């Protein structure tokens, strides 16, 4: 079964970031029937994320969210734009993941902002971040300024991006992550 995880970093409630995340989820599910969806709402994990930055390990619900992201076949990530980039909370969540967690995972990038002048944040901030994390961002990102919620073009972009995400999942199933504890390197190899 395909596991779709939706990470949303909106801070208000109701949140336009969550609204966009939900639209993307619905569109992705139309193309990935039967997929299991997990929502990760970063606002609820904000304290745990700060704790993880200090202690080096995720606790409680954050540990569950990290595990869900690690096992995801596809990700939808949505951040509000703060000071011309992703929000600090959004970045901090990806900062606490172990290296390699997102390797090979198809990702749909999305952002919301108060003004359309931030639209390049997807390609100038999010795309390099997810390339660094060795995820596989799909070509179409979805940016929604407040006024886009009145535009039919938003729906078209949502559909196109969701289609690309579904194609990526179907075309290239995510490689199975290696468990270094189950598949230990024999010491003779380490000795060289």
- Which residues contact another protein by CB under 8 A? 50-51, 53-57, 59-60, 180-181, 184-187, 190-192
> Given the complex with another protein, which of 14 and 180 has the nearer CB atom?
180
Task: Name the minimum Å distance from CB 189 to another protein.
Answer: 10
> Given the complex with another protein, which of 150 and 190 has the nearer CB atom?
190
Annotate the chain with DSSP letters as a single string: --EEEEEE---SSS-HHHHHHHHHHHHHHHHSTT-EEEEEEGGGGHHHHHHHHHHSS--HHHHHHHHHHHT-SEEEEEEEEETTEE-HHHHHHHHTSPTTTTTT-EEEEEEEESSGGGTTHIIIIIHHHHHHTT-EE-S--EEEEGGGGG-HHHHHHHHHHHHHHHHHHHHSPPPPPP-TTTSPPPHHHHH-
> Given the complex with another protein, which of 13 and 185 has the nearer CB atom?
185
Task: Name the minimum Å distance from CB 64 to another protein.
Answer: 13
Task: Name the minimum Å distance from CB 102 to another protein.
Answer: 19
Task: Name the minimum Å distance from CB 11 to another protein.
Answer: 21
> Given the complex with another protein, which of 153 and 189 has the nearer CB atom?
189
Task: Name the minimum Å distance from CB 86 to another protein.
Answer: 23
> Given the complex with another protein, which of 156 and 184 has the nearer CB atom?
184
Burial of 138 (0-12, 13-18, 19+ CB in 10 A): buried
């Amino acid at each position: 079964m395909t596991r779709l995880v939706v990470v949303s970093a909106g801070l208000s409630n109701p949140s336009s970031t969550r609204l966009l995340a939900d639209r993307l989820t619905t569109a992705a599910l139309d193309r990935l029937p039967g997929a299991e969806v997990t929502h990760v709402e970063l606002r609820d994990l904000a304290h745990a994320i700060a704790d993880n930055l200090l202690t080096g390990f995720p606790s409680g619900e954050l540990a569950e969210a990290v595990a869900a992201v690690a096992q995801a076949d596809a990700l939808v990530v949505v951040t509000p734009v703060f000071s011309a980039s992703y929000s600090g909370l959004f970045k901090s969540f990806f900062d606490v993941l172990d290296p390699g967690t997102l390797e090979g995972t198809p990702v749909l990038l999305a952002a919301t902002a108060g003004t359309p002048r931030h639209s390049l944040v997807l390609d100038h901030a999010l795309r390099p971040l997810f390339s660094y994390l060795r995820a596989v961002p799909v070509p179409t990102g979805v940016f929604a300024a407040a006024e886009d919620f009145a535009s039919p073009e938003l729906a078209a972009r949502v559909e196109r991006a969701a289609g690309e995400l579904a194609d990526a999942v179907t075309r290239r199933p995510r490689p199975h992550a290696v468990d270094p504890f189950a598949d230990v390197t024999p010491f003779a190899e380490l000795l060289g």
